[in-house]
A and B are shown apart, each in its own frame.
Chain A
Amino acid sequence: MIVGERKPLEEIAEMLKVYKKILNVGCGGCTSICLAGGQKEVAQLTRDLEGNFGNQGADVQIHELTIERQCNADFFADLDVMVKDYDAIVSMACGAGVQFVADRYPQTPVFPALNTTFVGFDKDVGWYEENCRTCGDCVLGETAGICPVTRCAKSLFNGPCGGTRADGTCEVDKTIPCAWYEIHKRLKAQGRLDLIHKVRPAREWVNQTRRSVIQEPYKERYTK
């Protein structure tokens, strides 16, 4: 899922300081699950901002609403009605949600409360780790489910680099295992070690430009 973390309070307060009536919108999707932008975090941010603005003697009203997701038009019925009463929106969704809201209400300034950090998994309560960089050309089938982009410090596709330490850790970052060592171990355990010899050509890093996806069964709907 998408993981984010809240921006420093000073940065958020700086963005919002000229507005008098602010709507703080949370998201019940990824940012709620990663404990960054759910209802509870919306309440916390409101308290923090009120404290911050209060200290500066500013008279600001901040109201709250959390919706299921901010990246799908189906969930905006409540927000559509409320938005006209506010000077600004601060969104605790990921970057996708913030932009969706901004596109939907172009007259109202929309500000991000989070920095969207990565796509990853839950390691433990409150602890998330990146394991996908949405490169757009997934090779996990050949690397026994270990992503060489995120888990190799050099993002090598035909690794290892030769710098693997004796204990199996990475020469660049000794807190992580060498991804290609792990790939080798797992392919061997699965009896698929022949894949380790496959040479992958230089890739086209497609995640540097804006992308769009229409799932195959739905393509017909959007072609004229």
Chain B
Amino acid sequence: MAQFVAFIKGPMVWIAFGVFFAGLIIQGWRFFTMSRKKDPAYIPGTEKKKKKKKKKKSKKTKAKKKKPKTIMDRLQPLIAFADKRWDNLENSMFRIHPLVSVVTIIFHVFLFVIPILLLAHNELFRAAFGFSLPSLSDQTTDMMTIIFLLCGGFFLFRRIFVRRVRAITTWWDFVMLAVTLTPFITGFMAFRQWGDYPTVMLVHMISGELMLILIPFTKLGHMIYFFLYRVLIGSEYSFGQGKRAW
């Protein structure tokens, strides 16, 4: 048993992170090999001429830029920008599902921030590498963990009680939620010394390692695929121009 615990505390951590990073890199690489850059729209014979036109225009506008700018002139682009952003917000998921949108943002931000800025983790990191990231106070991360677990509870509730979510829920969804929440539950318990500390810590480590290993190969891979799909692939809903296609 002691050997097993030593393995989980030691080599398994490296294995888990190794699989995590290698897995993500491979997934990213696979995405780029499977997709292709879209050919830019071809307008024959215009490129050189367009450049010449731009130079002429800039000379003309420079000559005209002698009118003094009013405050409204300066504010106008900002107003247009804010208007467009508000319009986007109005048309977005925040309007249709305000609660889910807010909960999922908090959930995902805390999912990252808690483990990375946790004092206990940073002390382990310092022991291993000689340096660490700055840490939040234990009080803060404790509170954040409670909020995170409430968000997780919200997702669990949704999965069981909301008809439309239940209609597409499988046992694997419950497993994935458990895999994601267990490190945080056990970490919270360990910090408060609830339960048998060595056992709680062992479960904490195993569940954390399991989560890291599963991320590149399951739906948790949306960690990078969210960005790859929604930023790089062109679609009605892509952020930015979406210059890649399948």
A interface residues with partner B (beta carbon < 8 Å): 35, 40, 43-44, 47, 123-127, 165, 167-169, 174-177
Contacts and interface: CB of A to CB of B under 8 A. Distances in A.
Contacts of A125: 234-236, 238, 242
Contacts of A174: 45-46, 49
Given A123-B41, A125-B235, A176-B43, 7 more contacts: A124-B234, A127-B41, A168-B44, A169-B45, A174-B46, A174-B49, A175-B43
Contacts of A127: 41
Contacts of B234: 124-125
A224 B242 CA distance: 56
B138 interface: no
B38 interface: yes
B45 A47 contact: no
A71 to B, nearest CB: 23
B211 to A, nearest CB: 35
Interface of B: 38, 41, 43-46, 49, 90-91, 234-236, 238, 242
Chain B at the A interface: SS class = loop
A128 B213 CA distance: 44
Nearest to A166: B45
A38 to B, nearest CB: 10
A35 B45 contact: no
Nearest 10 Cβ contacts at the A-B interface: A167-B45, A169-B45, A177-B44, A125-B234, A175-B43, A175-B46, A169-B44, A168-B44, A125-B236, A125-B235
A37 to B, nearest CB: 14
A168 B38 contact: no
Nearest to A38: B236
A92 B105 CA distance: 35
A106 B172 CA distance: 54
Given A40-B91, A44-B91, A47-B90, A124 B38 contact: yes
